[in-house]
Amino acid sequence: MGQIRKKSIAHFSAALTSVVLAACGSNAPGIVPPGKNASVVIENESQYALRELRLHPRPPFLESTSVLKEAMGIRSSIVFYGSGSWYVTVFREKYKDGPVLAFTTSRAVVLERGHGYRLLVFDDSFRMTDEARWLDPQGAATPIAGDPDG
Amino acid sequence: MAVSTRFPQGLAAAALFCIVAPSNLACVAQRLALPRLVVDRPPAELPHVKLELTEFRVSNVSESDQAQDGRRAIERAFIGYLNQSLHLASLSRPIGVYSRRDPDAVELEVDLDVHETANRTIILDGIFFYPFLGSFPLTPLWGDATVELVWRIRHHGAAEGPFKVKVEAPYTVLVYSYYRTGPIEEAFRRGHETAFKELVDRLQARLALAPSPDSPAPDLTPREIRLRPVGVGVVTEPFQDTEPPGFLKRYFGALGGLEASLTGGSATVESTASARSGAGQLVASGNARSHGYRFSLYKPPSESGFFFPPALGFFSQTIDIAGFRQDVPLFVPRGTTAIPAMVSDPTTGAPVDLSEPIAYRLDLKSAYVGQGIGLNMVIGAQDVQFFSTARAGLNVAEYRHSDVTLYQSRVKGGSFALFQSGQLGAQVGFSFPAIHFAVRAAVEYEWFRAFSYPQPIEFLAAAAYNDEKKIYERQRVFVSGASLSTLDWQLSAVMLF
């Protein structure tokens, strides 16, 4: 009986610790470091794999480089850290084995420091939401681009 | 009750009459139409011969013959013709067993059989009956009126025969054939005339000789005579030349003639796919047109009837297939911001039209064997003939090869297909054999089901709302084949050999 009680206490302590750590990692509003760059979760909701993802402060995209190390699959995502105005450009095939085209946001995405955003990439448009919470780069499970500490 | 209130009784009666009338009004022809026998020469002198017509039997008479006592009339006509053609010692017609018989007389026994064949087109008759009015005029009915005479002679107990002559007279009723019997009766009339003449001529030849077994017998072998068609009718066998064939006809007649044609056509290719909604939809299509001219050999049909040509051929078509343009609505859920995309060339940054349909170049080929069926209808006389043909073919087996040019690559492949394609064709024309000329117009439709691509190729389905993503989008679909159809026409002039 004594051994069982000791094990239950140990499990409860571990669970409590993980909950506290998780709360710190997700950074609820009001406890976001104000000097940190905004986080943007960029999700590929299109029907195509994205060959390149470029974020650039001004159009055109020709002088910028892709933040992807490999093609971004359908339904996969990446977190970008930055602030200010950014244009987002993705490269994908028009159709299988067809020509590659560049899709650029028709206007800049404005990122405020300390905020979290979500940018969905569709076939021929983008959708921005600011309901997402700022993501701590330490707890992010997806690839990271940009400068979290800038 | 509902019918009686909305459909007055008078109209109901009229409709019933229209349904029943065409079938009841179909008249019955007289098969014992009396011949117009004209003796154009002096009667043969046989003063030593006494002839007794002991039997004159008639079979297969029609209802109309029975109603008009045609048996007696045709027998009287036969006896009259005998009287006019042969100058005999006596000609008698003993009736019954108590009739007085002359033992020295030659007994003649005749059996007359009359019957006919009848052919119709199903299609034109269908038009005639629809919608139960029986008013469409062009309802060809054609066939042969056949008169068959068998006779025997007996003299002093020695019997000879039976001797036989069969006469076929073609007839055609082109318009309102359900109401008219004149051409059929005219054909029987011609049949009786020829058969009676033939019988009397041969009887005269036989009676001119002394009726003894030692005498050399005249030609009394069975004979079949087919009369030439008279006037305009359905041509059921080729007209024979009345003059010896010329040089061209003799050496090139089998080839028909030299045809010069204006040609045109279009090919259509279509791909369908099942989108997320589950329903199949047309996602891509293509059309190619052609026109030109051609010289070839051609022989117009010379007789009516079915024919069964083999389908053996090679088909090749190069055609572009493309998706379709569509504006996709931009849906903005509450609390979000939609940002349209600018589409450009990744190497130059130049704007690109994203809605330009996806397109591929297809090079489709097929070598096939199959079986066809056709029906020729030739109507006319020796100098002018109208002809029409309807033809259908089914390709039993074929080898297909497809070559698809993608954006910067090509894929090729071949496959076998069974019962996956066929043809329909039709032509109408006029032939003027007397002046060695013909004109015609022809159309042919060819259809290939599911022409397989070497690999599935991509198109976009119609825009639909994706509830999961909360957006309108055009779903990517991959299709594995396309149906292909071609429609070709030609207008031709033919110089007949």
CA B262/CA B246 separation, integer angstroms: 29
Alpha carbon of A85: minimum distance to chain B alpha carbons (Å): 14
DSSP helix, strand, coil percent of chain B (3-state; round to 5): 20, 55, 30
Closest residue in chain B to residue A108, using alpha carbons only: B339
Q: Which residues of B touch A103 (CB under 8 A)?
A: 341-343
Alpha carbon of B342: minimum distance to chain A alpha carbons (Å): 5
Per the CB < 8 Å rule, is B344 touching A60?
yes
Alpha carbon of B350: minimum distance to chain A alpha carbons (Å): 10
DSSP conformation class of A59: S
| Sequence-distant (≥ 6) Cβ neighbours of residue B207 within 8 angstroms | B46, B49, B51, B86, B106
Q: B173-191, pLDDT tens digit by residue?
A: 888 888 888 899 999 999 9
Q: B121-160, pLDDT tens digit by residue?
A: 888 888 888 877 777 888 889 999 999 999 999 888 888 8
Backbone phi, then psi, for A11, in 5-degree steps? -65, -45
At B34 the pLDDT is 86
Q: Which residues of B touch A97 (CB under 8 A)?
A: 406-409
At A26 the pLDDT is 40
H and E: helices and strands count for chain B = 7, 18
Confidence of residue A24 (pLDDT cuts 50, 70, 90): very low
Q: Which residues of B touch A (CB under 8 A)?
A: 328, 330, 332-333, 335-346, 349, 352, 354, 358, 406-409, 457-460, 469, 471, 473-476, 478
pLDDT at A34 over 80: no
Lowest mean pLDDT among A51-60, A118-127, B153-162: B153-162
Dihedral angle sign, alpha carbons of residues B293, B298, B302, B303: negative
Mutation target for A interface from B321, B334, B339: give the one with most A CBs within 10 A. Answer: B339
Confidence of residue A121 (pLDDT cuts 50, 70, 90): very high
At B9 the pLDDT is 42
CA B300/CA B287 separation, integer angstroms: 32
Per the CB < 8 Å rule, is B340 touching A125?
yes
Q: Is A104 on the interface with B (CB under 8 A)?
A: yes
Q: Which residues of A touch B361 (CB under 8 A)?
A: none
- Is-contact B148 B113, C-beta < 8 A? yes
- Which two tokens mark B69? 């006592």
Alpha carbon of B336: minimum distance to chain A alpha carbons (Å): 5
**Chain pair A-B, CB pairs under 8 angstroms:** 95
Mutation target for B interface from A62, A95, A129: give the one with most B CBs within 10 A. Answer: A95
Which of B335, B342, B349 lies nearest to residue A131, judging by beta carbons? B335
Per the CB < 8 Å rule, is B407 touching A98?
yes
Per the CB < 8 Å rule, is A106 touching B476?
no
pTM above 0.90, yes or no: no
CA B83/CA A3 separation, integer angstroms: 143
CA distances from B112 to A1, B30, B59 (A): 125, 14, 6
Which of A97, A101, A125 lies nearest to residue B406, judging by beta carbons? A97
Of all helices (H) and strands (E), which one includes residue A13?
helix A2-26
- Give the angle subtended at the CA of A50 by the CAs of A44 and A52, to the nearest 5°: 120
Q: Is A6 on the interface with B (CB under 8 A)?
A: no
Residue B374 DSSP SS3? strand
pLDDT at A63 over 50: yes
Q: Which residues of A touch B459 (CB under 8 A)?
A: 95
Q: Is A126 on the interface with B (CB under 8 A)?
A: yes
Which of A91, A98, A106 lies nearest to residue B339, judging by beta carbons? A106
Q: Which residues of A touch B478 (CB under 8 A)?
A: 96
Which of B336, B352, B408 lies nearest to residue A101, judging by beta carbons? B352
Which of B337, B344, B476 lies nearest to residue A104, judging by beta carbons? B344
Which of B339, B340, B473 lies nearest to residue A128, judging by beta carbons? B339
Q: Is A63 on the interface with B (CB under 8 A)?
A: no
Q: DSSP string spanning B299-318?
A: ----S-EEE--EEEEEEEEE
| B256-283 exposure pattern, b = at least 16 Cβ within 10 A, e = fewer | bbebebeeebebbbbbbbebeeeeeeeb
At residue B31, what is the residue type?
R
In tens digits, what is the pLDDT along chain B, a chain of 497 residues? 333 333 344 433 333 343 444 444 457 888 888 888 777 778 888 888 889 999 999 998 888 888 888 889 999 999 999 888 888 888 888 877 666 778 888 999 999 999 999 988 888 888 888 877 777 888 889 999 999 999 999 888 888 878 999 999 999 988 888 888 889 999 999 999 999 999 998 888 888 765 555 555 666 788 899 988 888 888 887 877 767 777 766 777 777 789 999 999 999 999 988 766 666 788 999 999 888 998 988 889 988 888 998 888 898 999 999 999 998 888 888 888 999 999 999 999 999 998 899 999 999 999 999 999 999 999 988 889 999 999 999 999 999 999 999 887 888 999 999 999 999 999 999 999 888 899 999 999 999 988 888 888 899 998 989 999 999 999 999 998 899 999 999 999 999 88
CA A107/CA A122 separation, integer angstroms: 16
Q: Which residues of B touch A62 (CB under 8 A)?
A: 349
Alpha carbon of B337: minimum distance to chain A alpha carbons (Å): 5
First to last CA, chain B: 69
Between B396 and A20, the more confident residue is B396
Confidence of residue A32 (pLDDT cuts 50, 70, 90): low
Which of B328, B336, B459 lies nearest to residue A124, judging by beta carbons? B328
Strand B158-175, strand B223-226: pairing: parallel
In 3D space, the residue among B460, B444, B464, B456 whose CA is nearest the CA of residue B482 turns out to be B456
Per the CB < 8 Å rule, is A127 touching B338?
yes
At B97 the pLDDT is 67
At A23 the pLDDT is 37
Between A18 and B82, the more confident residue is B82
Beta bridge partner(s), residue B51: B91, B106
